Amino acid sequence: MLIKRELYLPRIREYYDADLIKVLTGIRRAGKSKILEQIIDELKERGINEAQIVFINFEDLDFQYLNTANKLNEYVKSKIIDDRKYYLFFDEIQHVKDFEKAIASFKATKNCSIFVTGSNSKLLSGELATLLVGRTVEFKIFPFTYKEALDYLQLLGKEVRADFFFDYLKWGGFPQRFNLVNESAVKQYLDSIYNGIISKDILIRNTEIIEHKFKSVCSYVLANAGKEFSAAKIADYMNTVDDRNLIGIEKKTIYAYLDKMEKAYFISRVKRFNINGKEVLKTIEKQYAVDLGLRTINTNLINFGDAFFLENIVYNELIVRGYDVFTGKTYKGEVDFVAIKNGKKCFIQVAYYLLDRATIEREFGAFSPIKDASPKFVLSLDQIDLSQKGITHLNIVDFLLGKVDLSLSWFSLTQKNFEFV
């Protein structure tokens, strides 16, 4: 039993019968397989015969023998027995050697609509995109948002405790964790996801990686998600830790490890936008955890007053809603986020509580160097409206529940001076 993932399905529905290959990516256990099942249910509701649907989960022991492109090709050909349109669903396809060749063959020779999922972006956006350039459309799937988590608890008939928001901040939104009875079980479950990704999606495919160094970097980055740091700072920290095994780790190694973390969907790497100069800066300044539970299991200190937890949840929400998100740099400091969607943008500051005049002036004052008239928002947990000087204040929980939304203004930069780097 799972809620309909309506944050994603409306976008995917447009492509059910399109010639493009539908690629669902995202971290393991985020619910990609369930979305495929929901798509299949909708196709059947539209009158598609079950015989026209081929579904293969490559982590199912019954299908693990289909581990090469040729074997997969033979199996699918045996299922396509007439000229009707067939719908092919391949779940966790990265387990198939040269899978992209089979996909290209199906697309070229069969009347079919193809859906694939995978837990490693290098495999799907790299090899597949290279062979089928311009013929794929990608949907990045996250664990449950806060609202989805609430809806799921209600579907399960479970009581929603008053402090559930902080439970979500701590343990995140992996769907299966909501079926577990206590925090010890949740932590064990998240540990298994975390270690499984490292072993199955990273180490086994990158034999050059030194495991203990990689795990140390992962733990440091996730524990400090949202904080500004460079590869040089990470390397300096690792070289000062009282562990001889970490001495000598280089900046280039840190960059390589960050890249592996991003491709396995542990983190999102956030570019910095120069608001005054209207350009995306070359330096990547921040990383956010794809799920907050991964941050929790990598730190011994949980402080909800640390605004980085709230920044992380707001960042993930914006990405799921289809925004391009950057951190913003002004000549005096920075703004937490520049959010852009459909050619429009706004600026966002995130705070815990606006407890005193100094905090209010700091958070609202972050926008003072910005001459751009685009809408500006301060998001916090305060229940009262503290909007002032043309800057809108929103309650974070109301924003996450969709009770309030962001207004945007047209974004006038040209593609030439706004490049993703």
What are the tens digits of pLDDT across the range 144-203?
999 999 999 999 999 999 999 999 999 999 999 999 989 999 999 999 999 999 998 899
Give pLDDT, residue 279: 52
Distance CA 233, CA 343 (A): 35
Instruction: Write the pLDDT tens digit of every residue in 291-326.
Output: 999 999 998 778 888 889 999 999 999 999 999 999
Distance CA 407, CA 321 (A): 14
Give pLDDT, residue 152: 97
Residue 245 has pLDDT above 70, yes or no: no
Instruction: Write the pLDDT tens digit of every residue in 13-69.
Output: 999 999 999 999 999 999 999 999 999 999 999 999 999 999 999 999 999 999 999
Distance CA 127, CA 118 (A): 12
Task: Give the HSE-up count for residue 389: Cα atoms under 13 Å, Cβ half-sphere.
Answer: 10
Give pLDDT, residue 413: 46
Report field, pTM of the whole predicted structure over 0.75: yes
As given in the structure block, the two tokens for residue 239 are: 């070289």
Give pLDDT, residue 187: 97
Residue 380 has pLDDT above 90, yes or no: yes
* % helix, strand, coil for the chain, step of 5: 45, 20, 40
Residues 6+ apart with CB under 8 A from 393: 354, 377, 378, 379, 380, 382, 385, 386, 387
Instruction: Write the pLDDT tens digit of every residue in 197-227.
Output: 999 889 988 889 999 899 999 999 999 999 8
The answer to whether residues 90 and 57 touch, using CB atoms and an 8 Å cutoff, is no
The answer to whether residues 223 and 295 touch, using CB atoms and an 8 Å cutoff, is yes
Instruction: Write the pLDDT tens digit of every residue in 86-124.
Output: 999 999 998 899 898 999 999 999 999 999 998 876 555
Mean residue pLDDT of the chain comes to 89
Q: Give the chain's domains with CATH numbers.
A: 9-140 (3.40.50.300), 146-410 (no CATH)
